[in-house]
Structure 1
Amino acid sequence: MENATRTVAESATKTGTKTGPGAGPAAGPAVELVEENGEVTLSIGGEQAMQAWERDLMWESADLLCEHGHDFYEVGLGLGLSALRIANHPATRSHRVLELFDEVEELFQERHPELPDTLSIERGDFFQRIFELPSESVDGIFFDPALDMEVWKDEELWRRTVPEVVRVLRPGGVFIPFFSTRPELRWQYLPHFREIRVIRRPYTAYDTTEYTYGTSGDAYIQCFRKD
């Protein structure tokens, strides 16, 4: 998910999806699962929010997360590719997923009626919930929400929020945002971590994918580690 609802760093077109601080399920955009011509797309607000071709990158991100402990938290359910990978990993003791939209979870539950015992899904706004989570309570956070362009640009918001992410992580824990197709460190998180690991992997998107720089090339998985 790398379009404007996912990252301003990729300089994509704004969707107008109002999914930031103070937003809630009732204010959310239309959510639809589109399956045609062998392609699977989660559409939010009429825009491509996530597609099934991302699977290998999401899986590698999930496996990287699971190298760092046993209890994990994820922001943004999407198609559930990373959620199921993390929950089914042998190292995982617990995996909680925060999702803003009821419809996203409903679509996921229709496709996956039986979930791993380690997986739980909760509803809420990340920018409120992060302040409520206990300190040093998780070993890793995977971050892949659908956010409005204005939210990504809000420097003050990120200055307030990312220290809370660090607080919630245990020492040695990691924060892994969704992959990028540009070799640029995420400015929202960079000031708050001293150790950052970047993994470069090739990707091939659908011919119809609108949110990457081209439909093939290199993607970058960024892993921010707490001291």
Structure 2
Amino acid sequence: MQENTGTTTTGPAEPEIELIEKDGEVTLSIGGEQAMQAWERDLMWASADLLCRHGQDFYEVGLGLGLSALRIARNPATRRHTVLELFDEVEELFRAAQPEPPATLTIERGDFFRRVHDLPSESIDGMFFDPALDMEVWTDKELWARTMPEVVRALRPGGVFIPFFSTKPELRWQYVDHFSRIHVERHRYQAYDTTEYTYGTTGNAYIQCFFKD
């Protein structure tokens, strides 16, 4: 999960990826940046539980530490959960920690901004979106204008799109114009003192759930 920085699908093909466990902290580092940390668990679980209220077939972008992927796949409501991950090394780290993942979980490799165009129409009940992206990608208005209609197309009527939590109380412009109904939950969070990608290391986090009509 990243709010400020990240790695990009248009950046180096093979960024350095490592799992750093130090002083009780767990960090997934991609290209020298904090891509995700273990303190996010409760927020990832809350997002996953919210997603699973809205169907049985789900799709996730970005594997990270696998916190949300496992939570979704293990939910009794889940029939199928597919995770799209860009980097081999991230999946390798996950499988080393989880040698027997749930049967409902499938991990695929690919770039979301290309793969989204191949998703079948009205094929999923919900999408959880948590990739590590460079700021250049986050601010590319044309890219998001092309991408989000494809996300909506892939969702079934009544389906939901849930991006990773924000620690700023504002709706993300990348998504808001493509949905007419939005549900927001506020949760308290406590990050590590070393966390670099949140707006402060403690406070309120906001989970945004966008509904397809």
Q: Structure 1 length as normaliser, TM-score?
A: 0.92
Kindly report which structure 2 residues correspond to 1:14-25, keeping only aligned pairs within 5 A, or say none. 17-20=7-10
* Residue 68 (structure 2) aligns with: 82
Q: Distance in 2 between matches of 1:168 and 1:5?
A: 28
8 Å contact from structure 1 (residues 3, 210) kept in 2? no
* Residue 133 (structure 2) aligns with: 147
* Residue 73 (structure 1) aligns with: 59
Q: Is the partner of 1:221 in helix, strand or coil?
A: strand
| 1:202 aligned onto 2:196 | no
Length, aligned pairs only: 213
Q: Distance in 2 between matches of 1:190 and 1:135?
A: 20
The residue type paired with residue 19 of structure 1 is T
Q: Distance in 1 between matches of 2:15 and 2:210?
A: 31
Residue among 103, 112, 116 paired with 2:98: 112
| 1:136 aligned onto 2:122 | yes
Residue among 168, 171, 194 paired with 1:182: 168
* Residue 24 (structure 2) aligns with: 38
| Alignment gaps of 5+ in structure 2 | none
The residue type paired with residue 25 of structure 2 is E
Q: Distance in 1 between matches of 2:155 and 2:5?
A: 25
The residue type paired with residue 4 of structure 2 is A
Q: Distance in 1 between matches of 2:137 and 2:197?
A: 18
CA RMSD of aligned residues (A): 1.1
- Report percent identity of matched pairs: 76
**What CA deviation, in whole Å up to 9, does each residue of 1:73-111 have, x standing for no partner?**
000000000000000000000000000000000000011
Residue among 58, 62, 65 paired with 2:44: 58
Q: Is the partner of 2:54 in helix, strand or coil?
A: coil
- 1:2 Cα offset (Å): 2.3
Q: Structure 2 length as normaliser, TM-score?
A: 0.98
8 Å contact from structure 1 (residues 4, 147) kept in 2? no
- 1:225 Cα offset (Å): 0.4
